[in-house]
Structures are given as structure tokens and as C-alpha cells.
Chain A
Amino acid sequence: MEESKNNIGVETRGQFLSFSQIRRWPEFGVIIAFLTLLIIFSIFSSKFLTLRNITGILTIVSELGIMAIGVAFLMIAGEFDLSVSSVYAFSGFLFVTLANKYNSPLAFVITLAIAAFIGFCNGIITLRARIPSFIATLGMMLLLRGSLLAVTGGESVSYSSDAIMPTILTRFIGYGFRPSHIWFLALTLIFSIILTNTRYGNWVFATGGNREVARAMGVNTNKVKVTNFMLSALMASLSGCIVISRFNLANASFGTGMELEAIASAVIGGTFLTGGYGTIIGVFFGAFLMGMMRTGLVMIGAPAYWYQTFVGAILIIAATINLKLRHLEM
């Protein structure tokens, strides 16, 4: 059952597409919301659709989107990861500290390895202790953030190492583009292919859709979940290293509240909170929508005190459009 649902988008893309077929894409809702906002912001600000602004938005979106891909992958497998924002801040701090002491490539590898271990711990705690992942990762979130605050005492740490990893991750490459944009696009494609075209992708859907059936089919659901917890932490860590390389600065307050933005990106992009359904292309547009909103509101000169209201309203509208279109699809 999961397969027939999940392959809708893929199967139809190889054929001539009618509107009714396009409408059935899981990403259709978020694309409509995305285009609507794009049109509105473009109408109200002549500078919105400029290369400079689009690349600027893409920079913010890439950092959120890379995290959101990991979060969505885990959500599709039926679990949450609220610790991503803390992993993001923790990784940034670790990366800067290690890079300042040794060199940036080594610091990057160690940081990712430690992040993967944190993800592994999240998975083991959730599955072995049978604590809901919402609580287990909330605990990890507070634990990491608290440790970071205790260690840094709130002081920022400046990056003063070599330019190797910052160049690979985020330094300008021309016309306002940064490598982080390429990372985001590449990771979107890779994870999208893994999810829709590989056996592992089917396992992820099956694990999140109906665990008992998945087990009966021979899927090691625990292994899938732990792997996805690790992926989620890895992606958050990568995102943290990218941000720190852009700002040349690490601080314990970085990423506060970002876990909800990542989850919102996934949900707006069509991922079910209950698991078993979602697309990475949808997450791409969901993250774009989130990143674009604040920039767009600033550019059209919307009153600053109303930003959160606007963002909240737009999120609800986007999610509603998504759900309505999903009902049409079913």
C-alpha cells in the first residue's frame, strides 16, 4: 500500500502529464503556496526577483533546508528529532574549536562523526528505553544546549583557522552563489532518489507507515530508525558547520527554535507528522517557503511587529492548501 502511494509522483513523471496528474503530486500544494508567495512578493517589491536577493534567500534556505531534509527523512520513518537545533549549534562550536586547534578538514570530519554518534544515541534511547522520540530528543536538545552554554559561558568563539572547509562549504563562488546552495540541491536530489528509487527508501516508508507490516515483510525497522536518527543529526551538523563558516563565529544561542522551522518545512512540504508519507522535493519547497517569507516581508516593508503573525498565517494557509489538495488526490 505504501508503495502505490509513494510512487505516484515518480510513475507519472515519465509520462505526458495532465493537470489532474500534476495535482496528484505530493509536492503540488507546497509548489502552489510557493508560487503564490513568490508572485505576491514580486508584485510588492521590485527588488525581490533579483539575482542578489534570490541567492541571499537561497543561502538562508540552504542552511535550513539541509537540516529539514534530515528531519523529514526521520519523520517519514515515523520519528521526530527535536535535538537538531542543538546539534547544529553544538557542531558549529565543536567545528570552530577543533579547527582553531588543528585544521578545518579534520575538525569537519570529527564534528560529523560526533554528530552521527549523537544521532545514534537518540535512536538507541528512543528504541531501547521505549521513550517517545519527541521526549528523548527534547532531552537531548536541552542537554546539548545546556552543556554548550555551560562550556562557553555565553561567549562567542571566532573562527581563525584555514579557509579550506569554509571555501568548500559556503564562501562566495560568484554572482552571489555559494557552495552551500549546491550542497542543498545535491542533497535534495540524492535523498529524493534514495527515498523514491531505492530499497532503503521503501524500508523508510514502510517503517513509518505500518511498522508491524514492515517487520512482517522482513524490514529491520529499528535499524532503519537508528540510521535515520544518525542522518538527521549528520545533516543538522553539516548545516551548523555551514552557518559557522559563513559567520566566522560560533555561539551557544545559534539555531534556537530552528527545530520547529525544520519540522514546519517538512510538513508544509507534504510530510505527514504521523510518518509513512512525504517527499524530499516537497521539503525543498517547504524550506524555500519558510526562508522566503521573512525576507519577503522585510522587502515589502511590512510592519515588523506583524512578521510573526504573517508567518503564522502563511504557514497555516500553506498547510491547509496542502491538505486540501491531498484530499483531492486520495
Chain B
Amino acid sequence: MKSNLKTGLFIFLVFFLLSSIFLSSFAAEKEYKIYVVVHGGIADPFWKVCEKGALDAGALYPDLKVIYTGPAEFKLEEFMAYIEAALASEPDALVCTLTAPEAMDEPLRAAIAKGLPVVAINAPDLRDPEVRIPVLTYVGEDSYFIGVKAAQETLARFTPKRAIFANHHPGATHIEARGRGYMDTLKAKGVMVESLDITDDAVKGAEMVAAYLKAHPETDAIFCSNTLRTETIIPRLEADGIKVGVDVKIAQMDASSKILEYIQEGKVMFTMDQQQYLQGYLGVVFAYLSAKYNYIPPPAPVSTGPAVITADNIPDLEGLVKEGYR
């Protein structure tokens, strides 16, 4: 057994030594390395589109290597560990979400002071302008406005008796801002509305919404902050005998094939599209051009939304969703 163990360890080390020599032989020209770190979860269909945008932009330039990363599900400490790791590997630029600006302030400010180009995507620093992290620019939604717009679109269709903002990332400032926009606008019209924490777990989240509707059966409007959550909430409510689209009308964020189906079936009124492909794509392009040529990107916010997707837009979007662009 001893000899087996020793042999195993020996083969293991030799293999990696040889691999590293083999890989290092390719390191000839200057290669620009850009990390894209998102708060996740990376397996979420929403982030797959953002990743495609980032990798497509990376493929435009032969001297650019894009490393896209993030936690499997939203966990701030893990996300911060990835940010730290990305910074420690001394990239040529960093593209990241500013999910928790207070927590990210210290490491990012230090890196920016040393000359690292940092582009924020998807989640902006919403603090007072003078204390914001001095990133090159921000590419993404105007979080509060997207919530306002969702409420206005809802009110244009009907006036809810009671509404909820289903929040899948409590604590993420941009999603909280989205919720505030939605709730402020509805409250101004006298609608009873509150935020419901539906957790990071899509299945658990569906149970929580179902339980809420049992406790408050007058609830007839939901603004869900995430595609995957809507996809689990609808069948769960239907299992309780609720006619989704009739008893409860749902609006939500972003698009997927399933959501487009739901819109066609009338189960989802509309979805707010923040065109996250552009966030990944433009984020990388701005970061690369800044790192290589010192170009200054357009000032923040470089708005990527919101676009409102209704049944009318579906024929144009179906193919794009399947191809991963929307």
C-alpha cells in the first residue's frame, strides 16, 4: 500500500510538471487577460446569456483571454473571494457586478488606484455619487427605474388589490432598488404591496409564494425578480388550483424560452428585458479597449434596458432566446 501511494503521488506530480512545461511553451505574445466576475448563480439561465456576451466579445480579439466566473449560487462571501482571486492574478482589466459596493469598496478602490481598468456591469454602485467606487463606467439596467417601469406597465393593464415583489437575492442592492421602484410606484396608487424574500432556492421560493398567497388570497399581482423563480412559481401556484394569468397576474425580469411560452399562454403579462448579453459583451469590449489603447468608455450608466417583452414581440425573440442571445 505504501508503494502504491508513493507511486501515485509521484505520477501525479510528474504529470502536472510536464503539463505546466507544455502550457508555458505557448506563452509567447502579450495576451490581455480580463476577468468577468458576476455574483451569480452562474448556472442561472440569465447569467448564461451574459456569459455568452462576454465570451463572444473575447472571441473578437486574438490577444484577449476572457475568464468568466462567479459562485454557483449567490453568496456574497464566495463572490468576494472570487473578486480577490481575480485581482490577485493581476489581470489587465476586470469586469464585475457591484453587488455589494460597501464590501467591494476596499479591494476595488485599491486596484483602481494602481491603474486597473474596472468596468461594472448589471449591478451598479447606488450610493451617493461622491462615495461610489470609481469604476470606468457601468453597463446595465437603471435598477430603480426598471421597477418603476414594471409597476407602470402593470398599472396600465389593471390596478392590483395586493401585490408582492418576489426578491430572490435579499441584500443585493440593485435588486432591492428594483423592488423599491416597483413598490413605491404601486404604493403611490394606493396598492398594498410588499417585498417577499423567496431565497436563493427556486423550489423553496415557489413554496414561499404559495404560502403567501394562502395567507393573503387577495394578492393578484407578482413582480418576480428572476426568470428561474417565475418558472417554478407558476406550476406551484397552479398545483394549488390558482389560475395564473387570471387570479394572479405575473410580471417578471428577463427572458427564457419557457417565459416566452408563458407570455404566449397569458400566464405572464410581460417581462422586463435588461439585455444582459450587452452587459457581458460591452463590459468586456470597454475593458479591453481601455487596457490596450487607454480608451475611455462612455460615461455611466450605459443603459441596456429596460425593454418590455409582451406577446407581440415573441415571434422575433424565440430564435434569439434559443441561440442564447436573449
Chain A residues with CB under 8 Å of chain B are: 32, 36, 39-40, 43-45, 47-48, 50, 52-53, 56, 59-60, 63, 149, 152-156, 158-159, 243, 246-249, 251-258, 291, 294-296, 298-299, 301, 304-305, 307-308, 321, 324, 327-328
Contact = CB atoms under 8 A, between A and B. Distances in A.
A298 B103 contact: no
A246 B107 CA distance: 10
Contacts of A56: 84-85, 87-88
Interface of B: 1-2, 5, 9, 12-13, 16-17, 19-20, 23, 35, 42-43, 65, 67-70, 72, 74-78, 80-82, 84-90, 100, 102-103, 105-106, 167, 170-171, 173, 176, 195, 197, 200
A31 to B, nearest CB: 13
- The 10 A-B residue pairs with the shortest CB-CB distance, nearest first, are A154-B170, A247-B103, A53-B88, A251-B171, A298-B85, A43-B20, A295-B85, A304-B69, A154-B197, A56-B84
Contacts of A307: 69, 72
B195 A295 contact: no
Contacts of A296: 85
A295 B74 CA distance: 17
Contacts of A321: 5
Contacts of B68: 304
A149 B169 CA distance: 12
Given A298-B82, A324-B5, A44 B171 contact: no
Given A153-B195, A155-B176, A295-B81, A52 B170 contact: no
A59 B84 contact: yes
Contact of A247 (B19, B35, B80): B80
19 contacts: A39-B16, A44-B20, A47-B90, A53-B85, A149-B197, A154-B170, A156-B100, A247-B76, A248-B102, A253-B74, A257-B75, A294-B82, A295-B81, A295-B88, A298-B82, A298-B89, A301-B65, A327-B1, A328-B1
Given A47-B90, A253-B170, A294-B85, A247 B102 contact: yes
Contact of B197 (A48, A153, A258, A299): A153
Contacts of A305: 42-43
Given A155-B176, A253-B170, A299 B89 contact: yes
Contacts of B19: 43-44
A59 to B, nearest CB: 7
Given A154-B170, A251-B171, A304-B70, A294 B76 contact: no
Contacts of A153: 170, 195, 197
Contacts of A249: 100, 102-103
Interface SS majority for chain B: helix
Contacts of A254: 76-77
Contact of B170 (A50, A63, A155, A299): A155
A156 B42 contact: no
Contacts of A298: 35, 67, 69, 82, 85-86, 89
Contacts of A295: 81, 84-85, 88
Contact of A253 (B72, B76, B82, B85): B76
A137 B3 CA distance: 43
A257 B1 CA distance: 36
Contact of A47 (B2, B76, B89, B197): B89
Which of A53, A154, A249, A254: most chain B Cβ within 10 A?
A: A154
Contacts of A52: 87-88
Nearest to B47: A304
Contacts of B76: 247, 251, 253-254
A248 B131 CA distance: 14
Contacts of A301: 65, 67
Nearest to A325: B5
B200 A43 contact: no
A328 to B, nearest CB: 7
A47 B84 CA distance: 12
B103 A248 contact: yes
A213 B302 CA distance: 70
A80 to B, nearest CB: 22
B12 to A, nearest CB: 7
Contacts of A43: 16-17, 19-20
Nearest to B5: A324
Contact of A256 (B12, B35, B75, B197): B75
B68 to A, nearest CB: 6
B12 A36 contact: yes
A40 B88 contact: no
A307 to B, nearest CB: 7
A52 B19 CA distance: 26
A328 B2 contact: yes
A175 B62 CA distance: 36
A296 B84 CA distance: 11
A154 B195 contact: yes
Contacts of A243: 77
Nearest to A255: B77
A253 B88 contact: no
Contacts of A60: 77, 81, 84
B171 A252 contact: yes
Given A47-B88, A153-B170, A304-B69, 17 more contacts: A32-B9, A36-B9, A43-B20, A44-B23, A56-B85, A149-B197, A153-B195, A154-B167, A154-B171, A154-B197, A247-B76, A247-B80, A247-B102, A251-B170, A253-B171, A253-B200, A305-B43
Given A247-B103, A254-B76, A299 B85 contact: yes
